[in-house]
Structures are given as C-alpha cells and as structure tokens.
Structure 1
C-alpha cells in the first residue's frame, strides 16, 4: 500500500515536470508575444530540472545516487525563486537594473556550488543517510549552515513575490485579475509547500513542492489556453499607462476615480492611493484649488486650467473622453492632462508682442484701433456716449537730448504709471506713438473726458520724475473729442482729438483742450 503511495507521488511529480516543460516550450514558441518571455523560459526550465531530478531521486537506491540527483535538483530549485521574483517584478512593471538582477543570483550560485562540493566541506548537509522502514529508499539529512541560508533566501523571494502581487490586486483592472490571481496562486502554493516541508509535517517527510507545481503548472496552462494569460498581460498596459508623459485619470460611470498614472500624480501632488474610490467633483477643488471645469462630464471637453505645483503656476490642457463598452454604453471616462505651460508662455509672449507695447505694456496702436472700433460701434448701436483723448509728453526731444534716451524711456514709463492710477477700469490705454498716448473712454461725455484729462495733467505736473540724481518736470498736453452721432468714425474722432491736442500745444503746452467743431 505504501509502495503504491510512493508510486503515486512519483507519477504526480513526473506529470508536474511534463506540464512545466510544456510551459517552457510554449513560452519559447510565443516569446515574441509574451512580455518578459526570457525570464519565464528560464523560470520554467529551472523548475522542470528540479521536478524531474526529484522524481529520479525518489527512485534511487543508494545515498550516492540520491546525492547526484540532489545536485541536479539544486541547479533548478536554487535559481527558480529569484527568477520567479524577477518575473513578478516584470509583470507589475518594475524595472530591475542588471547589476541588481545579477546580485539576486549570488546566493543561488553559492548554494549550488555548496551542494555540488558538499562531500568536501559538509556546509550544506552535515550528513545524509537512508531512512529505515520506508517503502522506497528515501534520504534524510542533517542540515548545515548553507542550507539555512538557502532556505531563508528561497522563502524570502517567494514571500516577496506574493506580497507584490497581492498589493497589485486593487490597482489592476478587473479584466486582468484572472491573470494576477493565477500568478499569485502559482507563487503562494509552492511557498506553503516549502514551509510545510521545512516544518517536517509532510507525508514520509517528502518534499511536496514538485507535486504542488503539478497544480500550479496546470493552472498556467489552463489560463494560457482560456484567457491567453501572459500573452496579453497588463504589463503592456501598465507600462504604456505609466510611461505616458500626459497625466491620465480613469473614472467609472459614477465619476469615481478608479485609477491614475504617475504623471498625473506629479501634476496633482495631492492625488494619492487614498483618492481611488472618491468622487472627482469632491477631489478636484482640493487638488487644483479650482472647481471642476464646466462640462467636465462631457465627451470631448477641452479646457486650459492653471494651478500651483511646488510654488509655481503651471498650465494644463484638460481633455475628457468617454469610455464605452462593446454595446456603446458609457462605462467610464478618461481625463487627460497635458502640460502646456511652455506653450502657454510662448503664446502669451507672442500675444504680448502682437498686441502690447514692449516698454509700457500698454495696448499698441494696432490693437487700440481694433478695440476702439468695437467700442465705438457698440456705443453707437446702444446710443451711449464715448470719448477719445490723445496726449503726448511736452518737449520730449529736449528730455532725450539733455538726459539721454534711457531717461526718456523712464519719462514714458513715469507718465504711464501715474495715468494708470487715475483712469477708470474700462478705459482703453495705448501707446499711440513714440511719446504719444491714446485713451478710449466708454460711457464718457466730452466734458467728463476733459475733466479726467485735467486730473491726469495735474498729477503729471505735481509728480516730477526723479532720475540720475535729477528732478525733471514732465508735463503733457491733451486733446479730447466726443462721438456725437452715428456718422462719426474712429478715424474722424482721432483726427478731432489730434487737432485739439495741437491746439493745447499752441496755447502753451501743459494743458487740456476739447475739440470744438466749426459751425
């Protein structure tokens, strides 16, 4: 009866070896389709060597023969655990530097050499002998120091593999959880078998790991055939997802956050694993300091938003797209965040150059004319008053000739800063020429324009420019014109304001004149 049990065990082990060898050959044939195929091939090859060596060991009759097969066993079992750990690391998308990977095989190499040369030093097995009263010759051993090192390292690799896979469970899409479960069980069951063997609670003290591998190898084969596990794996998805420079947030149909990549975590430092399962509408204000974009739940939404990351304002283009199943039903949504900070800065710079004066940052002449036409058209359409004022710096050439062009530039900036303080928020203010400026005053009558111009003029006179140790009186002359009818054009109004300006200069400068039409 006991002989039949041993025979059954050997049969199971041999079957496990065949399954594992099949996996190795399958991975080799499909190596172009399987990410990390090389590691999987070496892993299954090492396991196959171990399993068949165990089967032959159990059929051996002498200690010497058992020891020869034991050496072959450790050519497989010493290297399989770190190979399994590397396989798991590749599966979850963790890259391992070559030097680190090489270091992972130092202990297995020393283990194999220790077993192969044990008769000279007895560091792995202090002694090995045949058991008595067993249906088939089985060896018993007294373990040495290197056996403990090997056992601890093997168990550590297997435990690390299981922990890494379990941690990956909640971050893995449901479509890939079958694969993850298969890999997890494939690492967990041998670890349990090894633990029971080390505890001495297995039948006849036999190593159950080869028989357990029959089950795990069968699971791998079933999973490969039924769901193409390892051929289509989330490692490709994860690597693509994590390698994207764009930030991606995955939402379910109820707008809960279900996943995000590393890029978006950098864009939103407050986005952590604890955010998974929360509603986007609740998290977004906390993460960005701004409400969720209008239309944030729509397909094709696209909006540029700005928030602060590490003390710096950063611009992101936020895009939204719906995720649908095969029937066309909406099952979720993707939010993609693209860093457009540099693009936005360049765009702002080009806009600044196209529309604004470089020295004063006021509207340039072309932009002032464009916006003034719109203002005048709107005022005439609704019957509202609008006035225009032109002014320039008196004797500006003398300032340049006396103090230099740098001081001339300071004089221009000086009058602009004073005028800005006094102008209403809706006024259009432009640098119209070298030292000439233009104002468009919506809802202002001609009298109100003159009064405003007088306040600005008086402020210029009251606040001289201090430059280079000099106090320089900078004054200006002003001309104002009011739109009086629907026939007025911007060109005619600016001509009228210019005529009033020259009238102010002829009257002695540093004064304000309103255009007075001839009757």
Structure 2
C-alpha cells in the first residue's frame, strides 16, 4: 500500500503543479484575459489545497496531519466560491463587492473552525489515525459545521453547473469547447466528493485533489485549442443591460415582455409591474401622456417628449421587428435614444441664429422670415397688416456720454417697455443697431398708428434709471399699412422707413404715417 500511496501523492502533486502553472499563465496574460484575477486566485486556492493534501499524505504523525489539514482549508473552501465567481465572470454577470464578501463568509468561518477544532470540535468531532493502515491515514467523525461547509461547497458547484447548463442552448458552437470545459470542471469535483462521502473511494481517501488534475488538463487543452480565456463570449443579457439606450421588448400583441436597466433613467416609473401590459396601456402610466401611435409601432422612427421629476426628456424612438430563425415575426424591439441634450443645443443654436443676443427678441433675419409668412396669411384671408419701424432718438449721445454698457441697458429697457405694451400676436424684433420693427397682423391704418403712439408715449414716460442718473429715452416712428394686394414685406419696410425719417425731420419723438396712406 505504501507504493500505491506514493503513486497517489505523485498524481496529486502533478495536479497541484498544473494548477500552479495555470495561475502563472493567467498572471502573464492578465491584460488580455477578461477575468484573469479571478482565474489566478482560483488556481492559487486549488494549488494550496492540493499541495496541502499531498503533504498530509506524506506526514508521519497526527499532529503533522492536522497542521496540513489547516493549510488545505485555506484553499479548498474558497475554491468552490471562486469556481462560481469564475462562471459568473465568464457569462458576463456582475457580482457586487458586497455579494462577493458575503459569499466568502462561510469559507472564512470554516478555516477558523478547522484551525481551532481541538477547542470546540465543531468541524471534526474526532480525527484519528486509522489502525489498520500501514501508512498514516486519518479517519474522521464529522461535526455540525462540517455538514454546513459540505452543503455550501456542493451548492456553489451545483449553482455554477446549473447556470452553465441553462446557457448551453444559447452558446454558439465556436464557444462550446470552453463552455463544456467549465461544465466538466464543476461536475468532476462534485462526483468525486460524492463518492468520497459515500465511502466508495480506494482506502477511503479524498479523490478530489487527484481528479483536479483532469480538470486542469482540460483547461490547458481548451486554452490551446480554442484560445479559452482570451476569447470569451459576451452574454446577450450583458449586452442588453450594458446598452446606453433604453430598450423595450414587445411581443406580437404589443405587450411589454422585457426592458433593460437604461430604460429606468428615461422612464423612472417603469417596474416589474409594467411587464405584461400593452405599450398603449403602460405609456400613460410611465409618461402621463398617451402613446401617439395607437395602432402599430412597426417601422416607427419618431421623436417623443415627456416630463420626469428630473426635467423634460426628448427621445428618438426606433422600432425593429424581432424575427425567429424560421422567419416568423415574434415581436418588436423599441430603442429609446436620449436626445434631450442634443435638442437643447439645437434650440440654443437656433436661438443664436434667430434671436438677438442682447435683448432676447427676434433679430432681423427672423423678422423677415416670419413677417413674410404673417403678411401672406393676412392677404390670403383679406385682413389688414401693418409694419411699424422706430429708431431710438440720439442713441449715439447715450453711448458717448454714459458708455456702451449703458447704451446696451437702454436697448434692453426699450425692449422691455415695448414687449409689455404690444399685443400677443405682434411680431417685435430688433431690426438693427438702435432700430426696432413691429409686424401688426389685423391692424388697420388707424389701429397701427394708435399702437405706435402708445409705444412712443410709454418710452417718453419711462426713463432709464441707472445708479445716479435718469436718462430720458424717446423714439421716432414710421407706420406703413398694407394697401394693395401687391404689397410685400420689403415694400412695407421701405415705406415705414420713409415715414420714420419724416418723424425725424419733424423734430423726433413723433409718429408718422406713410404718405400713400394719408391720401
């Protein structure tokens, strides 16, 4: 039996060496292996366990055997947890640090109880050298914690096996070699441990350290044949959950069957209760608004807006069909792309293009574009339209005497006074420099002149107040109503400009009507 034990020790040591070199391989390729750290620690734990067991078999006394058993339990309980973590890393499943720490609680307790077993006998009730054995082999009477430790170790291996088997159908053929390797690495230790506990192993010895030689050899073969570790499949769930865009999966009846984590940022009210409802039922609950496309979402690519507690959201929503391998339509995938910031920047650029940066009212470009539309609508409806043009009197004197900063404040002051007085439908713009324009829909000759007079009076009555000065501001006005069907915005602006200069020639702070309207 002594020579047979030596053969067994040799096989066990070989297994330890293989695990040791697998750890070195993981360390050397740590930049190209996605889960190198976990694989390295896993093989280190196995190597400690295996070499500890080899030294246990070569020990001559019970005390020496006990010391090496403590060494074994530095690696063995942790290796089961690390095996499960390795499976999770391979499948792309994230495990939080708190969860990892929780998973190691039982292995840490196990190590402590093994090291202090002579005090409490919770792990082994008794451990003794077998009388009939020609070499020192031990038998044990298991304690309460041994059962807890064994169940937990078996549970970790079984959990990893179940997860891998469930993924097998969804694993592409090119990745099945390494997938099968992981499955075998869970099955072989489980079977060996089961045979050991049933008393069906030679001389009643633990076969797990020796059979780990087989799993290590399989790892090496898989690394060489399929570049296992360096080329790892990315799980579809990981892709789904890591997408920055929100995703909603609908079945053929437009019921919501799944969604990803990013959707919660766009629709904070989404929850597991949303699953099973149709999109048209759930959307009002999620956004407070009805889904605008009631009958179908096929081929949709639209911008939708809704409000959340964090602010308004704008999303580009695209739909694409989910097709089975046989070509049948299974449902629809909705992709929600957050373009809120993009729309905000577009609005800012549009404002820069069409709004005056100082006063915030439309600029000349916006007035010409919108004024033409307003005039065309008025003429098509047979309604009047008028243009009022006015210029701040002696504006250069304000700049020269008080400075350009005060001049800017004067322009803002004029804007605020006019906006307060003008009706909602009027188009008010800074036309250029100290010149302003007003488009007045539905304003006949007399009404347009009346509005111009109101503006003139208000400006005269409200001086600009600075810290030390009260600066009187007046303006000269020209009014040009549309008189014939051939009038254009440009012709009205020319007429209003001519009337404006009449006001300046007549002493300023006045309203003048274009000559053609007086006749």
Range class of TM-score, shorter chain: 0.5 to 0.7
Q: Which residue of 2 aligns with 1:9?
A: none
Distance 1:167 1:473, change over 3 A: farther
Report the Cα offset of residue 163 of structure 1: 8.5
Assess if the C-alpha contact under 8 Å between 1:450 and 1:480 holds in 2.
yes
Residue 469 (structure 2) pairs with residue 470 (structure 1)? yes
Per mean C-alpha deviation after superposition, the further-off stretch among 478-487 and 288-297 is 288-297
Is contact 2:78-2:104 (8 Å) kept?
Answer: no
Residue in 2 that maps onto 1:227: none
1:495 deviates by 0.6
Shift of 1:315: 3.5
TM-score (norm 2): 0.67
Deviation at 1:436, TM superposition (A): 0.7
* Residue 385 of structure 1 pairs with residue 384 of structure 2: yes
Q: Which moved more, 1:336-345 or 1:242-251?
A: 336-345
What root-mean-square deviation, in Å, do the aligned CA atoms of Structure 1 and Structure 2 show?
Answer: 5.8
Moved more, 393-402 or 289-298: 289-298
**Deviation of residue 154 (structure 1)?**
5.1
- Give 1:325-364 correspondences, 5 Å limit: 325-364=324-363
* Change over 3 Å in CA distance of 1:160–1:378 after alignment to 2: farther
**Structure 1 residue 492, shift from structure 2 partner:** 1.4
Distance change (3 Å), C-alpha of 1:122 and 1:354: same
- Cα displacement string for residues 369-422 of structure 1 (whole angstroms, at most 9, x for unaligned residues): 122223323333443322111112222222223332222222211221222223
Indicate yes or no: 2:259 matched with 1:263.
no
Cα 1:85–1:167 change in 2 (3 A) is closer
Shift of 1:251: 2.0
Q: 1:484-505: per-residue Cα shift (whole Å, max 9, x none)? A: 2232222211010111112222
Once residues 326 and 283 of structure 1 are traced to their aligned partners in structure 2, the CA distance between those partners, rounded to angstroms, is 29
1:78–1:112 contact (8 Å) kept in structure 2: no
**Alpha-carbon distance in structure 2 between the residues aligned to 1:254 and 1:352:** 43
- Which residue number corresponds to residue 8 of structure 1? none
1:507 is matched with which residue?
Answer: 506
Q: Offset at 1:43?
A: 8.1
Out of 290-299 and 367-376, give the one that drifted further.
Answer: 290-299
1:441 corresponding residue in structure 2: 440
| Separation in structure 2 between the aligned mates of residue 438 and residue 500 of structure 1, nearest angstrom | 13
Distance 2:388 2:447 in 1: 11
Between stretches 349-358 and 421-430, larger displacement belongs to 421-430
> Using the alignment, how far apart are the partners of 1:388 and 1:340 within structure 2?
39
Deviates more, 1:435-444 or 1:502-511: 502-511
Equivalences for residues 24-423 of structure 1 within 5 A:
78-90=77-89, 91=91, 93-95=93-95, 104=104, 107=107, 111=111, 125-128=124-127, 141-143=140-142, 148=145, 151-153=147-149, 155-156=151-152, 236-294=235-293, 297-310=297-310, 312-423=311-422
Aligned residue for 2:336, secondary structure, equals strand
Between the aligned partners of 2:85 and 2:306, the Cα distance in structure 1 is: 41
Counterpart CA distance in 1 for 2:95 and 2:125 is 39
Secondary structure at the aligned position of 2:307 is classed as strand
Evaluate the alpha carbon distance shift between residue 505 and residue 76 of structure 1 in structure 2; reply closer, same or farther with a 3 A threshold. Answer: closer
Q: Do 1:194 and 1:207's aligned partners in 2 also have CA atoms closer than 8 Å?
A: no
Q: How many residues align?
A: 463
Unaligned runs of 5+ in 2: 1-21, 26-32, 54-61, 132-136, 216-227
> Structure 1's 95 and 481: CA in aligned 2 closer, same or farther, altered over 3 A?
same
Cα offset, 1:119, TM superposition: 11
Distance 2:446 2:452 in 1: 10
Q: CA 1:207/1:440 → structure 2, altered by over 3 Å: closer, same or farther?
A: farther
Pair 1:268–1:432, CA change in 2 (3 A): same
Question: Aligned pair in 2 of structure 1 residues 244, 154: CA closer, same or farther (>3 Å)?
Answer: farther
* 1:73 Cα deviation from its structure 2 partner: 9.5
Q: 1:209 to 1:175 in 2, by over 3 A?
A: farther
What's the offset of the Cα at 1:482?
A: 1.4
SS of the aligned residue for 1:367 comes to helix
Rounded to whole Å, the distance in 1 between the matches of 2:157 and 2:438 is 73
C-alpha contact (below 8 Å) 2:81/2:103 kept by paired residues: no
Q: Say if 2:478 and 2:501, in contact at 8 Å, map to a contact too.
A: yes
Q: 1:401 to 1:354 in 2, by over 3 A?
A: same
CA distance in 2, matches of 1:162, 1:448: 88
In the alignment, the residues of structure 1 paired with residue 273 and residue 413 of structure 2 have an alpha-carbon distance, to the nearest angstrom, of: 54
Is contact 2:49–2:76 with CA below 8 Å preserved after alignment? yes
Once residues 392 and 37 of structure 2 are traced to their aligned partners in structure 1, the CA distance between those partners, rounded to angstroms, is: 80
Offset at 1:473? Answer: 2.6
Q: CA distance change for structure 1 residues 119 and 504 in 2, over 3 Å: closer, same or farther?
A: closer
**In 2: Cα distance, 1:429 partner to 1:44 partner:** 77
